[in-house]
Each structure stands twice: as structure tokens, then as C-alpha cells.
Amino acid sequence: MLEESLDKIMELLVDKQYFRARDELLKYNEADIAELLEEIIDDSGIQMAVILFRLLPKNISVEVFSYLPSNDQVDIINEITDKEITYIIQEMDFDDKIDVLEELPANIVDKILEKAPKNERKQINTFLNYPENSAGSLMTPEYISLMKDWTVREALEHIKKEGIDAETIYTCYVKDTGRKLIGIVSLSTLVVTDDAVKIKDIMVTDYIYEDVDDDQEEVSEDFKKYGYLALPVVDSEHRLVGIITFDDILDVMEDEATEDIERMNGVIDFDDSDRGYLDTSVWQHALNRLPWLIILMVAYIFTGRIVTNFETSLSKVIELVAFMPMLMGTGGNTGSQAATLIIRGLATDEVDTDDALRVLWKEMRVGVIIGVILSVLNYLRIYFIDGIHNPGIALTVCTSMVFIVIFAKIIGSMIPLIVKKIHLDPALIANPAISSVSDAVALSIYFAMAQIFLPI
């Protein structure tokens, strides 16, 4: 349905029927409108999208804006007037506002801040100074505060008055006079409790909270573990400085998964901008991918040496070269299977560095099973498909296969645990390291077997 509307809108835009295109957009909710606008920016350029964006009712355009990815937001900001910018930024939820300001160039931020009321300017500046990816950078100051001596009725009346501007009213926070957080009450408790009961008698005092400097990964772990809608963020003196709501964590979880997946495959995002693939420049892409390739290249100097040392023997039984790609490839792939499972297990807390011996024992057995099966299949291949009836070659390849798989499983599972033990990120180091080590091990095993089974 979204697809059809997009085609229709594109046609209307070509015919310069902007108002009819706008009406088509307005059939959808804000999240969908944002998705359509994204497509329009990609296909017809930013100018066309901005024309449409300006035709949206003001309150809707603010919502739509906050659903757009940050690079599209910056592009729109660059196209609209200062007055429009100021309006949008003023109307946005506080945490969305901070997200946008973080991405904008300093001169535009200054211009926007000039127009903000003094109090808010100060607050925005404080929030902009929290380190990226910290709890502080995710939070919003727009929460409901209650006093401990209020009754439930007073609290509900307060919420009725203040609720509109809060990010959530489902969790309310009780502070003492020194702004220290002393308890939490959920709206559901308020709603099911009698009007005359005091807040201090129903508030929860052993609540979970985050420190303002906590990494967003820890924050998202807590959301996953406890399943709360929102978590309070406190400073070093336990003063409540903001709250984080679950919807901001969904994005964090996705970004963290992306980072892990990329790192596991040798891509390091030096830019750290959460920019998408298509919006990242060619040079940035090259920079993100080069480091591991260069490190691997250096590692391959040693692999090259192993081959060179064996060159004379190889030239005697040149058929051996044909099996090198398969043995190295199988070793690398089977090692990275093991590494992947362990790295993911570490990330989801299913595996711990203390489990090293259990992992080792498991991988050795898995390695034996897989190694023997692949080895038997290989023997059949060599005999029937390749038609090589020299038992020395078959024995060399098949015994190598068993040992290579077992060693690759051991290396692949142990390296992530070791990396984790020394407090580095296993996703960052494990797979590329494994792919080079396993090649060297595969070739060493292969050549050792050749010396046993062949007259060289």
C-alpha cells in the first residue's frame, strides 16, 4: 500500500501537483509519512521533498521530522528558513531535539540556541555535552516529578496538568528537596490505588537506575533484563537528571547489533555517525575497511613463509597445490562458525569466560564429528570425481582435513574468550584474527601430513 502511494506521489510530483501529492501523504500516520519522504529524497532529491514537507500541517511536520534519519534531517535544515528551523526545533520532544542538534554544524546550532529561552539554552548545552553513546546522551529531562507527601489524588491532578509535555507519564519520579531521587511510582499503581493514600507509602525505593556516564550498551542490557518502560538517570550525587524511555533503546539495540555484525566481519566504523551505507562516503568506506585488510596482509607474510619453506617439496608433488584452497577455506569457515557462536554467546550472556573448558571440550567433539564426515566425503571426491588413485595424496588431504577442522574449532572458540578475558571487544578482533591464524595452521598441518604420507 505504501509502495502504491509512493508511485502515485512520484507521478503527482512530476506533474507538479504538489497539493494532491501532499493529500496522498496525509492519508498516513507520521512514521509512514517520514518513510515516504525518505524514499522521495532518495529518488527525486531533497528540493522536491522539502516542497512537500513545507506543505504539511505544522504540527504534523514536526512529528514527521523527528522520525527522519539524521542525515535527512540535516539536509532539510539546510533547505528551509531559519524561522522554520526554529519552529521545528522548539516543538520537538527534548531528546529528539538533542539528537538533531548533535548532528548539525556548530553555526546552525548557535543560531537555534540564540532563539531559545535562556533556561532551555542552558539545559540544551548541558545535554549536548554528555559523551556520545552515554546514558546522558539518550535521556530527556521531560518527566513527571511527584512529592512524597502528596496523596494519590494530588498526584493524578498534577499529572493531568503537566502530563502533556512529559515524554512518559507511565513512570513518575519522587525527589527530595535536594533533587535526589528517592522513589518511583508507576501510573498503574496510582490508578489502582485509593485517592487518599500518600505517595511515600506506595513508591518503590529499590528501583533500577543508570548513571549519566553509563554506556548505552549497559543501559540497553538493563532494559532487556528488566523490561521496564523507562529508567531514571542520576548524576554522581544521585540527583535525578533525566529519564530514558524504551523507544530510544530500540534504536540503540539495532545500532549495537549493527556495530557487532560489522566488527565481526572486519569493518570498523571510525565515523561512528550511525550514517547508513549509502550515505557514507567512498573514502570513509575505504577507511573503515582498510585497517583489518592491512593487518591481515602482514599476517600473510608468515603464511607465505610457510609455503616458501615447502616449495621444493611442493614442486615434486604439484597436485598438492590444488587442495590448498579447499583446506584453507574449510579451516577459515569452520573456525569462524565457532567464533561467531562464542562471540554472540558472550554478547547475550549465554557464554562466559569461565566456561572456557566446557567450550573447549564441546568444540573438540564437534570438530571430530565434522572433521571425520568431511574427510570421508573428501576421500570419495578424490577417488571418484578427481580420479586420483594415489593413496598418499588421499591420505594427506583426508587426515589434514580432520586435524584442520579440530584445530580451527579450537582456535575459533578460544580466541574470542581470550580477547574477552583481557577486556577487549571479541567482535572487533576475533574473526579477522582467526582467518589468518587458521590459514597458517591449515597449511602447517597439510605440509606435515604430506611429509608423513608422501615420498618428499
Reference 221, options 355, 346, 354; nearest CA is 346
In the structure grid, which three cell numbers stand for residue 432, read together?
A: 579477522
Size of the site for a second copy (CB under 8 A): 108
> Integer distance in angstroms from the first to the last C-alpha of the chain?
69
In the structure grid, which three cell numbers stand for residue 7, read together?
A: 508511485
How far apart are the C-alpha atoms of 262 and 267, rounded to whole Å? 5
Stretch in the footprint of a second copy (CB under 8 A) among 17-25, 122-130, 173-181, 366-374: 366-374
How far apart are the C-alpha atoms of 456 and 453, rounded to whole Å? 9
Length of the chain in terms of residues written: 456
Query: Are residues 161 and 196 in contact, defined by beta-carbon separation less than 8 angstroms?
Result: no
Report the residue from 223, 403, 407, 446 that binds a second copy according to the rule CB under 8 A: 223
Question: Judged by CB under 8 A, does residue 2 bind a second copy?
Answer: no
Q: What is the DSSP letter of 294?
A: H
> Looking only at residues 7 through 26 of this chain, which bind a second copy when binding is defined by CB under 8 A?
none
Report the residue from 26, 373, 424, 452 that binds a second copy according to the rule CB under 8 A: 373
CB of 77 to a second copy, least distance (A): 20
How far apart are the C-alpha atoms of 163 and 258, rounded to whole Å? 35
Question: Judged by CB under 8 A, does residue 351 bind a second copy?
Answer: yes
Report CA-CA distances (Å) from 43 to 4, 5, 7, 38, 195.
15, 14, 11, 9, 56
Question: Judged by CB under 8 A, does residue 396 bind a second copy?
Answer: no
**String of contacts with a second copy for each residue 422-441, x by CB under 8 A:** ---------xx--xx--x--
Which residue number, 108 or 400, has a Cβ lying nearer to a second copy?
Answer: 400
CB of 159 to a second copy, least distance (A): 6
Which residue number, 92 or 264, has a Cβ lying nearer to a second copy?
Answer: 264
Query: Are residues 405 and 330 in contact, defined by beta-carbon separation less than 8 angstroms?
Result: yes
**String of contacts with a second copy for each residue 171-210, x by CB under 8 A:** ----------------xx--xx-------------x-x--
Stretch in the footprint of a second copy (CB under 8 A) among 120-128, 145-153, 264-272, 417-425: 264-272
Question: Judged by CB under 8 A, does residue 278 bind a second copy?
Answer: yes
What single letter denotes the amino acid at residue 88?
I
Which residue number, 29 or 451, has a Cβ lying nearer to a second copy?
Answer: 29
Question: Judged by CB under 8 A, does residue 57 bind a second copy?
Answer: no
Report the residue from 8, 111, 160, 421 that binds a second copy according to the rule CB under 8 A: 160
Question: Judged by CB under 8 A, does residue 163 bind a second copy?
Answer: yes
Report the residue from 1, 196, 282, 422 that binds a second copy according to the rule CB under 8 A: 282
3-class secondary structure per residue, 129-144? CCCCCEHHHHCECCCE
CB of 234 to a second copy, least distance (A): 17
Which residue number, 134 or 444, has a Cβ lying nearer to a second copy?
Answer: 444
Which residue number, 21 or 156, has a Cβ lying nearer to a second copy?
Answer: 156
Report the residue from 4, 81, 283, 387 that binds a second copy according to the rule CB under 8 A: 283
> Looking only at residues 137 through 156 of this chain, which bind a second copy when binding is defined by CB under 8 A?
156
Which residue number, 16 or 225, has a Cβ lying nearer to a second copy?
Answer: 225
Give 265-271 contacts, CB < 8 A, sequence gap 24+: 265/431, 266/292, 266/293, 266/296, 266/431, 266/432, 267/292, 268/292, 268/428
Give 76-81 contacts, CB < 8 A, sequence gap 24+: 76/46, 76/49, 76/50, 77/104, 77/108, 78/46, 79/46, 79/47, 79/50, 80/50, 80/53, 80/54
CB of 85 to a second copy, least distance (A): 24
DSSP code per residue over 203-259: -BSS---EETT-BHHHHHHHHHHH--SEEEEE-TT-BEEEEEEHHHHHHHHHHHHHH
Reference 155, options 182, 111, 191; nearest CA is 191
Tell me the sheet residues that pair with 15. Answer: none
Stretch in the footprint of a second copy (CB under 8 A) among 54-62, 211-219, 235-243, 270-278: 270-278
> Looking only at residues 289 through 348 of this chain, which bind a second copy when binding is defined by CB under 8 A?
289-290, 292-294, 296-297, 300-301, 303-305, 307-308, 311, 314-315, 318-319, 321-326, 328-330, 332-334, 336-337, 339-342, 344-345, 348
Report the residue from 10, 116, 169, 356 that binds a second copy according to the rule CB under 8 A: 169
Question: Judged by CB under 8 A, does residue 446 bind a second copy?
Answer: no
CB of 245 to a second copy, least distance (A): 8
Residue 175 backbone phi and psi in degrees, to 5: -115, 150
How far apart are the C-alpha atoms of 36 and 47, rounded to whole Å? 15
How far apart are the C-alpha atoms of 288 and 267, rounded to whole Å? 6
Which residue number, 21 or 374, has a Cβ lying nearer to a second copy?
Answer: 374
Stretch in the footprint of a second copy (CB under 8 A) among 53-61, 209-217, 234-242, 378-386: 378-386
